[in-house]
Amino acid sequence: MEWVEVLFFFEVLIGGLLAGVMYSLVALGFVLIYKASSVFNFAQGAMVFFAVLSFVGFMELGLHFWVALPVTVVLMILVGMATERFVLRPLVNQSDDTLLMATIGLAFVLEGLAQMAWGVEVRRLDLGIPDVPMQWFADLTDIFVSTLDVVAGAAAGIMVIILALIFSRTKVGLGLRAVADSHAAAQSIGIPLKNIWMMVWATAGIVALVAGMLWGARSGVQFALVGIALKALPVLIIGGFTSVPGVIVAGLIVGASEKLAEVYIGPLFGGGIEGWSPYMLAVFFLMFRPEGLFGEKIIRRV
Amino acid sequence: MKSILKRVAPAALAAAALTAFAAPPAAMAEEEQYFPVPSSRVGPFSAMGTGYYGGIIDYMQYVNKNGGVNGVQLVWAECETEYNAARTVECYQRLLTGPNGQKMLVFDTLGTPGAYAVINRMSEEETVLAQYGYGRTDAADGTVWPWVFNAASHYWSQIGMKLQFMADQEGGVENMKGKKIVHLHIDSAYGREPLPAMRQIAKDWGMELVEISIPPPGLEQQSQWLQIRRERPDWVTFWGAGSGMNSTGMTNAARMGFPRERLVYVTFGGAEEDMVPAGDAAKGTYVVANAVPGRDFPLIADMYKTLYEDSNVGNMANPDRVGTVYYNRGVGAAVMWIEALKNAQEMSGKVGKAVVGSEFRDGYEALNMTPEKLEEIGITGMVAPFQLSCAKHDGAGKFRMMQWNGEKFDLITDWMGPPDPTFIRGLVESSAGKFASENNVEPKNCG
Amino acid sequence: MLYRQAGRFRTSYSMDARLVPFFEDRIALAAVFLFALCVVPFSASDYWLSAILIPWLCLSLVALGQNILMGYAGQLSLGSAGFMAAGAFACYNFELRIPEMPFLVSLIMSGLVAAAVGIVFGLPSLRIRGLYLAVATLASQFFIVWVIDKFGWFKNYDSSGIITAQDIVILGKSFTTPAEMYVVVLLVVAVMTLLAMNMASGSVGRNWMAVRDMDVAAEAMGISLLRTKLQAFAISSFYCGVGGALFAFTFLQSLEPVAFDINLSFRILFMVIIGGLGTIIGAYLGAGFILLLPVFLNIFFHAVVGEAVDATIVSAFEQVIFGVLMIMFMIYEPLGIARLLEIGQERLRRWPFKV
């Protein structure tokens, strides 16, 4: 094989791995909420959209970047609190389907509110990080890697580490895990369900904001951001719904495999296979590990 | 909260149901003409929908303020399609009869999926489908599609024009031999629409054509652009839909170091709403225009003054968007409606009265947008002069190439068409003929 | 209440096996059906027939299929629009390539094609459960639509990749007006609903429910998981396929594969949950809620606020209201609209003595 082809392979691989991290960032929000409340939060995509659109909206109102950021964080915490109060609290101990449906309703509300408040125009978000190839790396290797992707990857990595530590090392994390196991049992031993949920939803909101900012800087702040949640689903199930580190590993697998498949296998079929190839890969993985790579083993008793 | 909603919700629903069920009032004011506005104001295509339908509504308001069409006031009803085929069909049925009991004359979905969903209902319902530069290309053959028009030209002339533009840049058609072109498109019917014409021209000119598709919604295009980096094409034609895909295309080009001066966007790919989010990455990108943006055209300037400065009745939430690509395109579409209505009134001897679908169709077919007429309306240079006829339902077949300079579009060329319009026309006729024979349509004799 | 339900015992096996146990209920159902068949086609406007009733019935049928899989057999699936696409394009191709095939046969065949596809994509259910399965079934959604979109044969090599559904001809009579098409859809849906009620109350349905409630226990009792799950996938996909074919032939009429996108799958999922999982009538009620509520909101707000408020804000506000209604529904009646109906019936029983 020619040297150029080898280099190209690595370029695809690296690009895929970095794209995968971007998926992980979105998937992280799902995992947080699922872990703490066993709710599949359909509204995660809408939260990403809502968060970053509000952020850009505040900046348009004249707020400085570093003022708009905390304001948006506070807004997302309020959204989390409102969600807990008006959606989740009345639905304690309901079935998973019901909770899923409620989050779908929440998605409509958030999408509608964001568009009502800030309008439907596509906004540009400039984080000051250029989305162009890193010159020194390109000179060195002839492989193009965007600075923004590297920063995004680093941000995702840091967030995953922090969250993983919170879950495994702190009392709050323990509480979260207890709540995930059973709402009723956790309540009965005195874990304040209310606070836990509020916290988790607020955290998921902040994660959504970070994901939205990075995705928004890449492709503009707009409604289509809602759709990136779909990209996060295969990541979720390969990693296992309940594992924070799993998300990052699965993201890397999904990103790399989908890019490699599209570039090397896609042309044989006229392209466009990355729409479904991650799902096929997920099915393949699940055949061997039905609870995902890092998911908790499901024990079933009769 | 709970009790109020409990009481209000059923009442609201009942009221809505009643409004929908109630037969439209029979009484009809003589001097009104009803137009439907199937807008897409929310969702991923909202930037497009708000601009385009905002332009249409503003022009109708403007016409009304200036005394209507020979005294006939325009009325309209809106329906939200969310750029979705199923909801477009529902809107089509709902808007079929207006609030004043009149039947609609013309339907404009601003989108290929919606246009396809209703295209076969037109002759039955006697409604004109005005595809303003989108939709079914072979509908340009009026013998097979008497009720469908492509008043701002179709995708096949557009791709021809793009290739001609590239040839001009390369110094002539003979220099195109051996050049490599990537057609990067959304993986849908719309994205593949230009391919028949493109493949043929590529063959004739001895170019290599590489087709790469992007699965919708297209926020992730890395693998496609990696393929482009490997192919190292001379030109890329980008055929996307939705601002997410369009701006991502440019940012990805920047990431791969592909020169934007070699990237040519489709009419529905490049508007201010697509360019601005891409930031610096957009600079240099070429976009084809069938209605040129700008607020300096006398009509647009006067509309802005009348609707936004002198009064505050304009439809755009953000007045700064007056004069953008989609807004002007909407105005261009509405101008066709109104000119067709004028023609219809004159041809059927109903000046100052409302007309019906078949009369409007004849009026639309009789559109003759001469340079003098464009001057009179105040849109010289915004749309190309053209004339329709019984068989020829496409407009000028001409476009202007624009280039994004980071803040606005610069016009690069004058109106230019495909290299061989008769060849494009032949393609249209053979495709329409295939449709006619498959679906047992008896082509109309245009004499 | 017009009639009593208490104290009326089922004294024979045949009485116990009845689909609708009470005579009065049977009369009511028959009356509704006769009204829908004999009165509606002649009195409703074309708008109501072709833009509301036809899509509502078609999507109810699909929701019924989804409900069989999800509500009865407990297999969470998100691929229903994919199976609809399989049915719709199969029907188009049968009509195109075998012109002498009667429409109803094409319809059944397209259901069978969808069922076959459903079995293939149902295979992972033997190993995967719950949300994992739901995401895995998304593979079918994307894959089926991609295949149809990518290979021109399915669309008879149309230059735009669009198909135009043929006219419906049954026994030499063509059904092309909205009223005629409505009658065809109504009859197909009625027959298939009756079949579904039969299955749900028979041994097939009991197997499904056993698997839903606890598959390990069901297996221990001698129910074959393989058979039951795949059967549920096949029958559900059959319903989706027929529903998709009807949706294409009577509602959209000319379409591209993208019409059956992921959003449609989601909407069908919403229908089933809002309507009531594991109920037949829930499919109808849920389809009505999800399909018609946005339309009514759109009409209502345009009628009420008109031009006073920016139309973009109105459209967005409709979304908010829709979402709020959905959340309220889940809070006040998590078991869906079907359960509300039941509660209403129970209240009515005590009326006028107690409300």
* Tens digits of pLDDT across chain C (355 residues): 567 777 788 888 888 888 888 888 889 899 999 999 999 999 988 888 988 999 999 999 999 999 999 999 999 888 999 999 999 999 999 999 998 889 999 999 999 999 999 999 999 988 888 888 888 888 889 999 999 988 889 988 877 778 888 889 888 888 988 999 999 999 999 999 999 999 998 899 999 999 999 888 999 999 999 999 999 999 999 999 999 999 999 998 888 888 898 889 989 998 998 899 999 999 999 999 988 888 888 888 878 776 667 777 888 888 899 999 889 988 988 888 899 888 888 888 777 776 5
Please give the average per-residue pLDDT across B56-62, as a whole number: 95
Residue in B216, B257, B274 closest to A133 by CB: B257
A107 contact residues in C (CB cutoff 8 A): 323
Confidence check: pLDDT of B13 > 50: no
d(CA B227, CA B257): 13
Q: Quick one: how far is CA A246 from the chain centroid?
A: 12
Closest CA to A83 of A94, A98, A70, A99: A99
What does the pLDDT look like over B397-446, one tens digit per residue? 899 999 999 999 999 999 999 988 889 999 999 989 988 887 788 898 88
Instruction: Give the pLDDT of residue B244.
Output: 82
Smallest CA–CA separation between B172 and chain C, in Å? Answer: 30
Question: Would you call A133 and B223 a contact, using CB atoms and an 8 Å cutoff?
Answer: no
- Which of C58, C162, C249 should be substituted to probe chain B, the one whose Cβ sees the most B Cβ atoms within 10 Å? C162
Q: Contact A224/B223, CB-based, under 8 Å?
A: no
- Tell me chain A's radius of gyration from C-alpha atoms: 20
Kindly report the backbone phi and psi dihedral angles of residue C177, in degrees, each rounded to the nearest multiple of 5, phi listed first. Answer: -75, 160
Pick from B19, B50, B216: CB nearest C300: B19
Asked if residues C168 and C250 have their Cβ atoms less than 8 Å apart, the reply is: yes
Residue B26 has pLDDT above 50, yes or no: no
Confidence check: pLDDT of A225 > 80: yes
Task: Report the gap between the CA of A139 and the closest CA in chain B (Å).
Answer: 13
Of C138, C277, C317, the CB nearest to A116: C317
Q: How far is CA B262 from CA A130, A298, B191, in A?
A: 21, 54, 19
CB contact under 8 A, B44 and A119: no
Q: Of A47-61, A259-273, B2-16, where does mean pLDDT reach its minimum? A: B2-16
Residue A279 to residue C135, Cβ atoms within 8 A = yes
With 70 as the cut, is the pLDDT of residue B10 above it? no
| One-letter identity of residue B217 | P
User: Would you say residue A227 has pLDDT above 90?
Assistant: no
Distance CA C258, CA A264 (A): 25
CA–CA min distance A118, chain C (Å) = 10
Closest C-chain CA to A34: C131
Render pLDDT for B138-185 as a digit per residue (tens, 0 to 9). Answer: 889 999 999 999 888 889 999 999 999 999 999 989 999 999 999 999
A153: pLDDT strictly greater than 90: no
Task: Tell me what pLDDT residue B11 has.
Answer: 47
DSSP at B97: B
Chains with 3 or more CB pairs under 8 A to chain C: A, B
C-alpha B146/C-alpha B142 separation (Å) is: 5
Mutate to test the interface with C, among A44, A86, A110, A237 (most CBs of C within 10 A): A237
pLDDT tens digits, B293-348: 999 999 999 999 999 999 888 888 889 999 999 999 999 999 999 999 999 999 99
pLDDT at B80 over 70: yes
Q: Is the ipTM of this complex over 0.85?
A: yes
A267 to chain B, closest Cα gap in Å: 8
A215: which chain B residues are within 8 Å (Cβ-Cβ)? 219
Residue of chain B minimizing CA distance to A261: B223
Phi, psi of C116 (to 5 degrees): -60, -45
pLDDT of residue B3: 41
Cβ(A115)–Cβ(A224) under 8 Å? no
Residue B80: which of B105, B57, B109 has the closest Cα? B109
Instruction: Tell me which chain B residue has its CA closest to the CA of residue A257.
Output: B223
Phi, psi torsion values for A189, nearest 5 degrees = -95, 15
CA C323 to chain B, closest CA, distance in angstroms equals 13
pLDDT of A168: 82
Are residues A222 and B277, on separate chains, in Cβ contact within 8 Å? yes
CA atoms of B272 and B267, how far apart (whole Å) = 12
Chain C residues with beta carbon closer than 8 angstroms to that of A108? 319-320, 322-323, 326
Percent of chain A whose pLDDT exceeds 70? 98
Question: Could you give the CA distance from residue C13 to residue A20 in angstroms, rounded to a whole number?
Answer: 60
For the stretch A189-202, pLDDT in tens is 888 888 888 888 99
Using the Cβ of C355 and the Cβ atoms of chain B, whether some distance falls under 8 Å is answered with no
Q: Which residues of B117-153 are buried (b: 16+ CB within 10 A; e: fewer)?
A: bbbbbbbebbbbbbbbbbbbbbbbbbbbbbbbbbbbb
**Chains touching B, CB cut-off 8 Å, 3+ pairs:** A, C
- Taking only the tens place, the pLDDT of each residue in A68-124 is 999 999 999 999 999 989 998 898 878 887 888 899 899 999 999 998 998 888 888
Q: How far is B376 from chain C (nearest CA, A)?
A: 30
Residue C25: the pLDDT is 85
Decide: C233 and C75 in contact? Cβ < 8 Å.
Answer: yes
Contact across the interface for A292 and C132, Cβ inside 8 Å: yes
Tens of pLDDT along A250-259?
999 999 999 9
SS3 content of chain A, % helix, strand, coil (to 5): 75, 0, 20
Closest-CA residue of A relative to B214 is: A272
For the segment B61-84, the average pLDDT, to the nearest whole number, is 91
Q: Is the N-terminal amide bond of C352 cis, ω within 30° of 0?
A: yes
Residue B56: which of B275, B287, B307 has the closest Cα? B307
List chain B residues with CB under 8 Å of A123: 276-277
Question: What predicted TM-score, i.e. pTM, was given to this entire model?
Answer: 0.90
**Strand duo B180-186 + B128-130: pairing:** unpaired
Cα separation, B190 vs B188, whole angstroms:
5
Residue A1's pLDDT band (cuts 50, 70, 90)? low
Calculate the CA dihedral of residues B421, B424, B430, B431 and round it to 10 degrees.
-140
Inter-residue contact C81 to C138 (CB < 8 Å) = no
3-class state of residue B241 by DSSP: coil
Please give the Cα distance from B247 to B269 (Å, whole number): 8
Q: In this complex, is the C-beta atom of C318 within 8 Å of any C-beta atom belonging to chain B?
A: yes
- Given CB atoms, is C300 within the 8 Å cutoff of chain B? yes
Residues of B (187-216) whose Cβ lies below 8 Å from A: 187, 211-216
pLDDT in tens, C150-190: 888 998 887 777 888 888 988 888 898 899 999 999 999 99
Answer whether B428's CB lies under 8 Å from B137's CB. Answer: yes
Lowest-confidence region among A12-26, B1-15, B82-96, B245-259 = B1-15
Q: Tell me the CA distances in angstroms from B152 to B106, B326, B399, one per residue in order.
A: 15, 13, 9
Decide if A35 contacts A246 (C-beta within 8 A).
no
Burial class (CB in 10 A: 0-12, 13-18, 19+), A52: buried
> Does the pLDDT value for residue B20 go beyond 80?
no
Q: Please give the pLDDT value at position B30.
A: 57
- The dihedral formed by the CA atoms of B79, B85, B87 and B89, expressed in degrees to the nearest 10: 80
| Record: contact B216-C164, CB cut-off 8 A | no
* Residue to test with chain A: of B1, B80, B223, B258, most A Cβ within 10 A: B223
Q: Which band of pLDDT confidence, cut at 50, 70 and 90, is reported for residue B110?
A: confident
Task: Look at A279 and C138 and tell me if their CB atoms are within 8 Å.
Answer: yes
Q: Do B47 and A224 touch (CB under 8 A)?
A: no
**pLDDT, position B330:** 95
Q: Does A112 sit within 8 Å of C323, measured CB to CB?
A: yes
Asked if the bond preceding B217 is cis, omega within 30° of 0, the reply is yes
CA C244, CA A131: separation in Å to the nearest integer? 43
Whole-number Å distance between alpha carbons of C13 and B203:
76
Residue among B152, A246, A100, B314 nearest C266 (CA)? A100
Nearest by CB to A222, from B211, B213, B244: name it. Answer: B244
Long-range contacts of C306-311 (CB under 8 A, 24+ apart): C310/B315, C310/B317, C311/B39, C311/B41, C311/B78, C311/B315
Question: 3-state class of A57 per DSSP?
Answer: helix
Nearest Cα to Cα of residue A46 among A60, A69, A63, A30 = A30
Question: What DSSP state is assigned to residue C70?
Answer: I
Among candidate residues B146, B86, B12, the one with its CA nearest the CA of residue C318: B12
Which residues, 6 or more positions from B37, have their beta carbon under 8 angstroms from its beta carbon? B53, B56, B57, B76, B77, B78, B79, B95
